[in-house]
Amino acid sequence: MACAEESFAVTQKGAALRAAQEGRFDELPIFDRAIECASREEIEALQLEKLKKQVAYTYERVPWYRQKMDEMGVAPEDIQTLADVRKLPFTDKTVLRDTFPFGLFAVPLSDVRELHSSSGTTGKPVVVGYTPDDMDVWSDCIARLVQMAGVVPGDVAQMAFGYGMFTGGFGLHYGLQKLGCAMIPAGSGNTERHIQMIEDYGTTVLVATPSYAMHICEVGEQMGYDWASSPLRVGLFGGEPCPPGLKAEIERRMHITCTDNYGLTEVMGPGVSGECLAERFQQHIAEDHFLWEVVDPETGEPVGEGEMGELVLTPLDKQAIPVLRYRTHDLTCVHTEPCACGRTHARMDKVRSRSDDMLIIRGTNVFPSQIEDVLSGIEEVTPHYHIVVDTKNGMDVFTVETELRPEAFSDSFESMNAIKENIAEKLKSTLLVAPTVRLVEPGGIERAVGKAKHVDDRRKK
Ligand code: DLL
């Protein structure tokens, strides 16, 4: 396994961020340069070698895959090129649910060191396990992405993800420790205490969902905390979409640099891809551990390079619960040209939408991310919003609740109405369907301590 590079130029806390701001990307530390900067030929050769082994391992040990592959008439030996991955069956959440809890496990529980699960709010939870080797791969992937964000050994990292079954808390915890950081396992919630700890313990790195980071920022401001003179430098975000406007606002108000990191329980948890300091809208996929495909969500057929589609992931080393061609439902496109940070691993565009979060309102397709983008261009409102969709007299109705900034809030009916009409008009021209806009007083939209829930579709209830 890799160890932290000893020879990188920028080792002091904060120095990496300064180097990045000045465009000196070649000075930035890279956790595992041999792997992260390998040529595409080397990456693809490694992927193929691992894919062949992983398919054979999965076929041998997991009856569900053996049966499925037998039905499809495909054997492990049929995998001779990376494109042959398409011969394999897709896996989706229903397979994990139908085989709950351990039906897809390839090892006995005695070989598992940790279990995690997804929340299960929409059915049975999905449970995954990690062998000691899985744990090593996991912490390695996270150590890479935290270093990508400018974190260095000696940083003090405060956890504001929940621990427990969610993969975010423990995943980031292990990876940050692997890099050599001191962990403060505060967990989510108790926001005032978070701010006190940042000050008392000299926290330099905050790990949180972007929604919760925004809340920590606001609570700090209400407490009179001066973020400009706080020791905090880096925000490590993930677990939910991080719209560019929200990230920019947190960076500005908290005086920190934030990166957005992606992953999902079924294929590992956090650590699948992470944002570097050179390319702020994309994330490097850990290609030595994950084979990616981008497919048309309707047909499952591959889309062209650089085209938007659904991300499908095959983890290449997973031992406890191998999954082949996992359909993430997350929409993105992937680019393979080199990055200014020096890393060669492919970059995926940040996930803003899922193929299953599209709302169909009066026959028109609406993505919550479109609403987010419109609201982020309106200076009178905060990044907090909520969408309620319902049916009235057989017709879809939808309301966008958006929160006024304190400086925009006034008693004047005319000025409030003008803001509302402006928002309604902009939403209508983007979405092509008109919502009712409700302006909510500052602080009126509920804050999340984990992942924010923006949509309440009452038609499904
Ligand atoms: O959210 C894993 C994670 C934890 C990633 C912490 C990063 C940091 P799940 O709870 O299984 O796992 O949720 C996975 O959340 O399919 C995406 O739809 C969404 N998601 C996760 N990270 C991002 C992100 C964790 N950075 C699901 N941007 C995924 C957009 C994200 N969506």
Contact residues of ligand 1, CB 6 A cut-off? 118, 167-168, 238-242, 260-265, 269-270, 328, 330, 350-351, 354
Mean pLDDT of 152-175: 97
Give the tens place of pLDDT for each residue, 101-112. 999 999 999 999
The residue contributing the CA closest to ligand 1 atom 27 is: 264
Q: Is 454 left (phi over 0), alpha (psi -120 to 50) or beta?
A: alpha
Q: What is the pLDDT of residue 120?
A: 62
For ligand 1, atom 14, name the residue with the nearest CA: 264
- Interval 63-75 mean pLDDT: 98
Once rounded to an integer, what is the mean pLDDT over residues 185-205? 97
pTM for the structure as a whole: 0.95
Side-chain-facing half-sphere of 171: CA atoms under 13 Å: 36
Nearest CA to 261 among 335, 185, 209, 309? 209
pLDDT for the residue 201: 98
In this prediction, residue 11 has a pLDDT band, given cuts at 50, 70 and 90, of low
| For ligand 1, atom 29: residue with the closest CA | 264
- Domain residue spans of the chain: 15-41+131-352, 359-460
Q: Would you state the pLDDT for residue 6?
A: 43
Beta-carbon count within 10 A of 86 CB: 15
What is the four-CA torsion angle of 334, 271, 59, 41, rounded to 10 degrees? 50
What are the C-alpha distances in Å from 34 to residues 38, 140, 341, 453?
6, 14, 14, 40
The greatest distance separating any two alpha carbons of the chain, rounded to the nearest whole angstrom, comes to 73
Atom of ligand 1 nearest to the CA of 266: 11
Confidence check: pLDDT of 3 > 50? no
| Ligand 1 geometric centre to CA of 270 (Å) | 7
Listed in sequence order, the residues at least 6 apart from 274 whose beta carbon sits closer than 8 Å to its beta carbon are 144, 145, 146, 148, 149, 259, 261, 262, 283, 284
How far apart are the CA of 351 and the centre of ligand 1, in A?
A: 9
* pLDDT tens, residue by residue, 206-232: 999 999 999 999 999 999 999 999 999
pLDDT band, very low/low/confident/very high, at 125 (cuts 50, 70, 90): confident
pLDDT at 267: 98
| Mean pLDDT, range 63-84, rounded to an integer | 98
453 CA → ligand 1 middle, Å: 13
Helix axes 413-431, 368-376, angle to 10 degrees: 130
Quote the ligand 1 centre to 332 CA distance (angstroms): 13
Is the pLDDT confidence value at 41 over 60?
A: yes
Ligand 1 atom nearest 351 alpha carbon: 30
What is the structure's pLDDT at 7?
41
CATH fold group of domain 359-460: GMP Synthetase; Chain A, domain 3 (3.30.300)
Q: Could you give the CA distance from residue 406 to residue 154 in angstroms, rounded to a whole number?
A: 39
461: confidence class by pLDDT, cuts 50, 70, 90? low
The matching CATH number, chosen from 3.40.50.12780, 3.40.50.300, 3.40.190.10, 3.90.700.10, for 15-41+131-352 is: 3.40.50.12780
Assess whether pLDDT exceeds 50 at residue 33.
yes
Structure tokens at 194: 């978070």
Atom 19 in ligand 1: which residue has the minimum CA distance? 240
pLDDT higher than 60, residue 141? yes
Which atom in ligand 1 lies closest to the alpha carbon of residue 354? 18
Q: Which of 16-25, 54-63, 284-293, 422-431 shows the lowest mean pLDDT across its residues? A: 16-25
Report the distance separating Cα 46 and Cα 64, nearest Å: 26
∠ CA(36), CA(291), CA(308), 5° rounding? Answer: 100
What tens digit of pLDDT does each residue of 236-264 get? Answer: 999 999 999 999 999 999 999 999 999 99
